[in-house]
């Protein structure tokens, strides 16, 4: 069950990540690191030649209790068509997805 939750989180973030417009089709992977530490969490990071990068780390909190939850922290960056690099830092945990970025409106 925990593996399914971790996989669902990874897929949701991957689908929600912004895509670079110009060089995406010809982008090369410059760096890729992954560490699946089992049901207790994971770590991964990548960077591509078109300016996209992502890193995140997850850990299982409150193991064995009814409040058990996975907590994910990370960031992703991309180069927009205007040439500016945008970065989102986020936490996704029992309180939901909480993004922060200089370009995002503040509540």
Over 60: is that where the pLDDT of 16 sits?
no
Q: Each residue of 25-80: pLDDT tens digit? A: 889 999 999 988 777 789 999 999 999 999 999 999 988 889 888 899 999 999 99
Q: How far is CA 29 from CA 10, 38, 42, 77, in A?
A: 18, 25, 20, 15
Over 50: is that where the pLDDT of 20 sits?
no
- What's the pTM value of the predicted model, to 2 decimals? 0.70
Q: Each residue of 86-96: pLDDT tens digit? A: 999 999 998 99
């Amino acid at each position: 069950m925990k593996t399914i939750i971790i996989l669902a989180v990874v897929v949701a973030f991957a689908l929600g990540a912004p895509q670079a417009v110009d060089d995406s089709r010809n982008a090369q992977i410059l760096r890729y690191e992954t560490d699946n530490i089992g049901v207790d969490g994971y770590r991964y990071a990548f960077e591509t030649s078109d300016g996209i990068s992502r890193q995140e780390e997850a850990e299982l909190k409150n193991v064995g209790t009814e409040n058990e939850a996975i907590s994910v922290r990370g960031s992703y960056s991309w180069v927009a068509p205007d040439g500016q690099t945008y970065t989102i830092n986020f936490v996704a945990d029992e309180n939901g997805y909480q993004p922060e970025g200089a370009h995002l409106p503040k509540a």
